[in-house]
Amino acid sequence: MYDLHTHTTASDGQYTATELVRCAYEKGITLLAITDHDSIGSICEGEKAAKEFGIHFIPGIEISVKGAREMHILGYGINVKAKEVPEMCARFQQLREERKYRILEFLEHHGVSLTLEQVEKQAGSQLIARPHFARAMVEAGYISTIREAFDRFLGTTEFAQVERPKPTPEEGIAMIQNIGGIAVLAHPSSLKMEADELDKQLQELIHYGLKGLECHYSAFTQEESDLYLNLAHRYKLIVTGGSDFHGEKVKPDITLGGFQGNTLYHDGIEIYNEIQKAGKI
């Protein structure tokens, strides 16, 4: 089994890197990538833990980019020691720091009165992300579930107006390439595109340097996976798969390794071999 899309406390996940790797080991996962949002904070710890548990490990990141709908680009095989990394991560952190005050104002305007301390309690010492606001709302009794927080507040069109500035797809892919990574489009179903529109979007992203497509994912139907596999084969893209695991408290409906195709080890190993061949791990 493998899982190439997971999150830790370095962004908006529930578990530390070591805890996540231990969970993966207990699940029988033998190939794991940590892909935190705009952060490489758990990579070194995750790599060390993976060696201790005998798990193949891919250092990764997930970058949000502009689009009609927010698009996520995964970067695999990144070099955390690249000279561009400190400035890139500092910029991401600054934008998230500025955004948290706008989110508090947005929620106040919609009748949800939270303090920064309530949100920071959920985030601990890590970057504050939307799930931390969602958990604070649940704890304060404004909503019942994390999903409700996103449906009513944090995932709406109106909320997009307070979002942080994001790079273009071309810039996001370039960022990943500049730190030695391979760029892969994450969960294409979230773009809500018809097949023809997605085909055109992929051609554009490939022109920018996209090398892979996430064809197996926790929320995909078999029909969706088949569509993405066909597109990946058509454009000779690397096929990847992942659960987008954040932890039971953050996304209770998603389990580690819980996606169709996670036993298709050849799909997971394809990008591992590609990264090895490039000398990135």
Find the mean pLDDT for residues 27-51: 95
Question: Domain ranges in the chain?
Answer: 2-80+181-277, 89-162
What is the per-residue pLDDT across 231-270, written as a single tens digit (0 to 9) for each? 999 999 999 999 999 999 888 889 999 887 766 655 667 7
Question: Model confidence at 70, in pLDDT bands (50, 70, 90)?
Answer: confident
Burial class for 178, CB neighbours closer than 10 Å (0-12, 13-18, 19+): middle
Point out the least confidently predicted range of 22-26, 117-121, 189-193, 249-253. 249-253
What is the per-residue pLDDT across 71-85, written as a single tens digit (0 to 9) for each? 999 999 999 999 999
Q: Which residues, other chains included, contact 19 with Cβ-Cβ below 8 Å and sequence gap of 6+?
A: none
Fold annotation for 89-162: DNA polymerase; domain 1 (1.10.150)
Give the dihedral sign, CA 224/226/229/231. negative
Most confident region among 145-149, 165-169, 205-209 by mean pLDDT: 205-209
CATH superfamily of 2-80+181-277: Metal-dependent hydrolases (3.20.20.140)
Would you say the CATH fold of 89-162 matches that of 2-80+181-277? no
Note the pLDDT of residue 280.
65
